[in-house]
């Protein structure tokens, strides 16, 4: 993103936050049933990775794994992974003026307002620009048509990846999430084994256990309760379709149904993106 684009985003943010804004959800569509194919038929990607920029957005409901896959692609492609959820958590842990307001919003399972997210994102892009970052993978933004329009007026988004997973798997994943209170590592104690039904394939997702040094330090996020998770998924479901259609109409939406856990899904996602991971190749050849 150019310096002028970052400055423009800041200006848009200031103008936007001067007006009242409605609360917005963390994420849209829960139970989009996975189809037998992993991705949409009409891929918006150029065939050669060298022919494309990396200014991507990851969509998907809470707990689907946007952060996991965006982070892996960030490492593979050498561009920053910017997660608005992380920006919110960083602010929560700060002594800034938004911390107490955010704490109340998150603990109630409500969505953070557009004005707060846009301000946090604007500051993050400016900081990255000062460090010489080029390109980005956005995770958790935009979540509304209004946000998408603001972002579209500032910078070009090359690709939007929409991750999908069955609702029962999503709920189990969210309730199984654990964080190490010491190092901040993310793990999952859920073992998900859903049999195929009504033409849908089965899904198996193994637990992601913590290493011994973290095993006795695991905590659960305050908002990872069944009631809060279901409410968050419902809100996301209601908001997702217009945003998906926004990017679908622009030929930028790549829909990807996760076939299982990371071992099953990562190679398939790389294939859908026309990318190669040499570590995956080496593991397969071993």
pLDDT-derived band at 10 (thresholds 50, 70, 90) equals: low
d(CA 172, CA 44): 32
Annotated active-site residue in 32, 66, 72, 178: 66
- Let me know: does 255 contact 39? Beta carbons within 8 Å: yes
Q: What residues are paired with 245 via a beta bridge?
A: none
Annotated active-site residue in 32, 178, 232, 248: 232
Closest Cα to residue 196, out of 168, 237, 233, 230?
A: 168
Average pLDDT over residues 106-112: 81
CA of 270: how far to CAs of 54, 77, 252, 276, in Å?
Answer: 14, 12, 17, 6
Annotated active-site residue in 32, 72, 124, 143: 143
268 pLDDT more than 70: yes
Residue 241 designated active-site = no
Average pLDDT over residues 155-184: 92
Closest Cα to residue 69, out of 165, 196, 210?
A: 165
Residue 124 designated active-site = no
pLDDT-derived band at 178 (thresholds 50, 70, 90) equals: very high
Residue 177 designated active-site = yes
Annotated active-site residue in 110, 124, 173, 177: 177
pLDDT-derived band at 122 (thresholds 50, 70, 90) equals: confident
Model pLDDT for residues 36-76, shown as the tens digit of each residue: 234 443 455 544 544 456 899 999 988 898 989 999 999 99
Q: At 285, which helix (H) or strand (E)?
A: helix 278-285
Average pLDDT over residues 145-160: 87
Q: For the chain, how big is the Rg over CA atoms in Å? A: 19
pLDDT at 52: 53
d(CA 145, CA 163): 18
The 8 Å CB, 24+ separation contacts for 70-76 are 70/137, 70/139, 72/266, 73/137, 73/273, 73/275, 74/137, 76/275, 76/277
23 pLDDT more than 50: no
pLDDT at 117: 84
Annotated active-site residue in 103, 146, 221, 230: 221
Average pLDDT, the chain: 80
Average pLDDT over residues 95-116: 83
Average pLDDT over residues 206-225: 93
């Amino acid at each position: 993103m150019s310096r002028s684009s970052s400055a423009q985003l800041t200006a848009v943010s200031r103008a936007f936050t001067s007006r009242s804004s409605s609360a917005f959800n963390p994420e849209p569509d829960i139970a989009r049933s996975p189809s037998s194919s992993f991705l949409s038929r009409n891929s918006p990607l150029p065939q050669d990775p060298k022919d494309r920029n990396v200014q991507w957005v990851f969509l998907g409901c809470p707990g689907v794994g946007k952060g996991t896959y965006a982070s892996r692609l960030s490492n593979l492609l050498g561009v920053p992974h910017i997660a608005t959820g992380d920006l919110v958590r960083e602010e929560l842990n700060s002594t800034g003026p938004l911390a107490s307001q955010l704490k109340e919003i998150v603990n109630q399972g409500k969505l953070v307002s557009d004005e707060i997210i846009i301000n946090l994102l604007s500051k993050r892009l400016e900081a990255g620009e000062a460090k010489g970052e080029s390109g980005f993978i956005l995770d958790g933004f935009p979540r509304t048509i209004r946000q998408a329009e603001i972002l579209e007026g500032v910078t070009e988004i090359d690709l939007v990846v929409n991750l999908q997973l069955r609702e029962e798997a999503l709920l189990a994943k969210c309730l199984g999430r654990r964080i190490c209170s010491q190092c901040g590592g993310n793990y999952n104690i859920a073992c998900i084994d859903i049999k195929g039904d009504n033409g849908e394939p089965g899904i198996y997702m193994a637990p992601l256990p913590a290493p011994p040094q973290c095993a006795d330090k695991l905590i659960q996020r305050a908002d990872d309760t069944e009631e809060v998770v279901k409410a968050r998924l419902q809100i996301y479901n209601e908001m997702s379709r217009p945003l998906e259609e926004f990017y679908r109409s622009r030929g930028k939406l790549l829909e990807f149904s996760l076939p299982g856990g990371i071992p099953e899904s990562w190679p398939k996602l790389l294939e859908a993106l026309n990318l190669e991971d040499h570590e995956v190749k080496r593991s397969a050849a071993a």
